[in-house]
Amino acid sequence: MAADSPTRNRRCVLTKRPQGGSVASCFEMQEEQLSPLGRGEARVRVEWLSIDPTQRGWLNPGPNYRAPVGLGEVMRGAGVGTVVETDNETLPVGAKVYGELGWQTFAAASASGLFGVNIVPEGIEPRHMLSVFGTNGLTAYFGMTEIGRPSSADTVLVSAAAGATGSIAAQISSSLGCRTIGIAGGQEKCEWVRESAGLDACIDYKSDNVAQALNSLAPGGIDVYFDNVGGELLEAAVDNLADHGRIVLCGAVATGYDGGLPATGLRNYMQLGLRRARMEGFVFFDYIERFPDALAHLSGMFGRGELKVAETIAEGVDAAPGALDGLFTGANLGKQLVRV
């Protein structure tokens, strides 16, 4: 049965591999006639898209934790929307759903699970399934609690602390009683980190001397560094690690997504040995069996007002490529979304 009968789909298709910086020219908007639903499928009107740094890595031809997006394919991405036509009793017409819908106005869905389409739980704002209750929240939770493992006596540093994942990781740290310092770019973001997210301090990497600020704010060293940036900020953190410090390798928006090698490497890596420190990477779905625990923790924090979420919203599916570019120039505060 159907709530309405859409006939056309607008989709954002990858037409070439990016070379270096901007990716916006690598996509083409196409329009197609919608095919009839297959057995067990549901038609979803896409309403919100999640824009995430990891999507830049999927555009490269080389290895990643997921296969590259193929040329001529709709750009892969999480979204939320409403079922408007269905041949699947588990996805009824009118249901709000979230999952891998892609950069398009309508998606055909059937599978459930990690990369499928699932019903938005009752009482949750649907677009929050793309941030605090989605990849960002799960990544922040497992990175901080399983890799960083801070105690209440620790000093924790988080880069991109005004970003979608960094802001959640930093607030998890604060909720555990840690002295938590953020790094962000610009006065507006630093004010949000201190005043809304409630961190103890925030370093403005655009105007502050990061090394000097770390010496002043964390004279005993950094016990946990949650890294979303890489590059010079990672080196500054390594230089200021406490003995037995832990570095959580979550992202590298400064250096890590364009498929090439950065201009410089981690030049001071021997500090890890001298300080008996550990640096470890992870992917959130390494912990899939623990998702219920993570979501319960995040839901509790959110319900108690201990977790603030900022959003930057672009309008229309056509805006998605530019929104992805903006993540690497610091254009977003909090979660970058596209309202389709």
Query: Looking at residue 256, what is its pLDDT?
Result: 66
Number of domains in the chain: 2
Residues 2-36 have pLDDT tens digits of 555 678 999 999 999 998 778 999 999 999 999 99
Please write down the HEC assignment for all residues of 86-150: ECCCCCCCCCEEEEECCCECEEEECCCCCCCEEECCCCCCHHHHHCCCCHHHHHHHHHHHHHHCC
182 and 70 share a domain?
no
Instruction: Confirm whether 291 is domain-assigned.
Output: no
Asked whether the beta carbons of 148 and 158 are under 8 A apart, the reply is no
Mean predicted confidence (pLDDT) in 38-67 = 92
125 and 81 share a domain?
yes
Say what the pTM is. Answer: 0.93
CATH number, position 214: 3.40.50.720
- Which 3 state secondary structure label does DSSP give 336? strand
Residues 68-107 have pLDDT tens digits of 999 999 999 999 999 999 999 999 999 999 999 999 999 9
Provide the domain limits for residue 104: 8-129+310-339
Residues 215-245 have pLDDT tens digits of 999 999 999 999 999 999 999 999 999 999 9
Instruction: Confirm whether 298 is domain-assigned.
Output: no
Residues 186-216 have pLDDT tens digits of 999 999 999 999 999 999 999 999 999 999 9
159 and 30 share a domain?
no
